[in-house]
Amino acid sequence: MTRGCAAFPLRTLLIALVVLFSFPTAWAQISRLDRERAEAMLETVASDVRHNYYDPKLHGVDWDAHIRQAKEAISKAATVEEATARIAGALEILNDSHTYFLRPRYATAVEYGWNFEMIGYRCFVTVVKPGSDAEAKGLHPGDEVTMINGYMPTREDIHKLKQALGFAPQKALQVGVVDPATKRFRSLTIESKIERARQVRSDREEYNRRARLTWEEMQNELKPRAEEFGPELMIVKFQAFAQSGEVVEGLIDRACQHKALIIDLRGNGGGAEETLKNWIAGLFEGETKIADRIERTKTETMSAKGSKHHAFKGKLIVLIDSGSASASELFARVIQIEKRGTIMGDQSSGATMEAEIYPHRSEVIFATMVTHADLRMKDGNSIEHVGVSPDEPALPTGLDLANKRDPVLSKAAAMAGVTVSPEDAGKLFPHHWAKDWTYLY
């Protein structure tokens, strides 16, 4: 969660995957200028962490020695992609979900044309983009993914796998899938769309223009969607905690006209602390503790003011899955601890630190996301690397995904006293292909 916007093998997984995925792409050799730029970025990123990380001891890591090793690795990198991955990989040793490197815009951009997610402990294709090579090759939602370029996705490392596919874009992916109906295994070679993004230099006017337009586009694409079923039920779905206080208040006012509210946070990766507070405030009459924020030099309480008689007081159901992270998880856990509603779905991702972005504009624009606070819930526990366990486990099957059914939302509606078939539930909030907001800083 941003205030504004494991074991050893996991710490080295990103680099291992980038090296594994590098040979099919045959990128051009790195130039001396690119290498020097990567080394300079590494020093800047290392300084951001050294001076701003919530634990000044950096979990006992000899940071200077570690960064020297990373610099040595960059000196041997064969491509720009590998060099930037070495910067990102240097931060893995902290084993922190919210401390990472946001690479420059000059890096290669890739569109694979399909998404995959963990459902329980199995990986499935969730959406396939119309017109993509993935669609042409016969990849379908609901196909179980058993292998991607020789690597088997697992719940523990799926985020690193996706990150590696971004740092080392693939011209094609060799994907092993199992059809949910026939159980037949298929091996598919799926072509990607790759383009070399132009370098964005540190022209302040251009930077401000891009930032303004990107923010406006993001606000439009990530705005909440709501469906109402008479006086009985309102369902709200949003992909990020990025709404203004006025928008949240308006949705709560609408919810108050219904007996039950379902908040669908599946796939919601988190967002701003202020938005989190606004949502929680709308569901409680009095002030509600969210967590203790353990910072570098102090500890303070994060809480949300109540809405008194304006709060929604009806039945509440919150949906989460493996893609629910950060503010989504904090929200769900507060609802669970306070016994305010029912949490339904899959185990969440366990990525709940609080971080700030440190942007840099030299020849190119890049940034460091640095955790500045550990968050301990009201019960004294952290859910980092743990996640939120649902009160009511509910998972779609491969066949559900293939047939565009949403049995989880259907079950939640039934708990609220409204009949919505899995087929109709699957039509309520169709997937749309949003832009990559990685570079909003």
From residue 234, give the alpha-carbon distance in Å to each of 251, 260, 333, 434: 10, 6, 21, 24
How far, in whole angstroms, is CA 152 from its chain's centroid?
A: 20
> The pTM is what?
0.89
Question: What fold is seen in the domain 213-428?
Answer: 2-enoyl-CoA Hydratase; Chain A, domain 1 (3.90.226)
**Tell me, what's the pLDDT at 382?**
96
Residue spans of beta strands (DSSP E) within 141-287:
144-148, 172-178, 185-191, 193-196, 225-229, 233-237, 260-264
Backbone angles phi, psi at 387, to 5 degrees: 85, 180
**Tell me, what's the pLDDT at 224?**
94
| Highest-pLDDT range among 27-36, 40-49, 191-200, 202-211 | 40-49
First to last CA, the chain: 15
**Would you kindly state where each structural domain of the chain is located, as residue ranges?**
8-108, 110-196, 213-428
3-state secondary structure of 344: strand
Backbone angles phi, psi at 131, to 5 degrees: 85, -5
Neighbours of 256 (CB within 10 A): 17
Question: What fold is seen in the domain 110-196?
Answer: Pdz3 Domain (2.30.42)
State the chain's mean pLDDT as an integer.
88
Compute the distance between CA of residue 30 and CA of residue 11 in angstroms, rounded to an integer.
25
Residues 6+ apart with CB under 8 A from 130: none
pLDDT surpasses 60 at 418: yes
Nearest to 104 by CA among 417, 364, 395, 412: 364
**106 contacts 27 by C-beta, under 8 angstroms:** no
| DSSP assignment string, 267-336 | T---BBHHHHHHHHHTT-SS-EEEEEEEESS-EEEEEE---GGGS--SEEEEEE-TT--THHHHHHHHHH
Question: Residues 356-379: pLDDT tens digits?
Answer: 999 998 777 889 999 999 999 999
Nearest to 415 by CA among 261, 195, 208: 261
pLDDT tier, 8 (very low <50, low <70, confident <90, very high otherwise): very low
pLDDT surpasses 70 at 108: no
As a whole number, mean pLDDT of residues 379-388 equals 96
Compute the distance between CA of residue 313 and CA of residue 19 in angstroms, rounded to an integer.
53
Neighbours of 111 (CB within 10 A): 14
Neighbours of 298 (CB within 10 A): 8
Q: DSSP letter at 151? A: B
As a whole number, mean pLDDT of residues 240-258 equals 95
- Burial class of residue 284, CB neighbours in 10 A (0-12, 13-18, 19+): buried
As a whole number, mean pLDDT of residues 269-285 equals 95
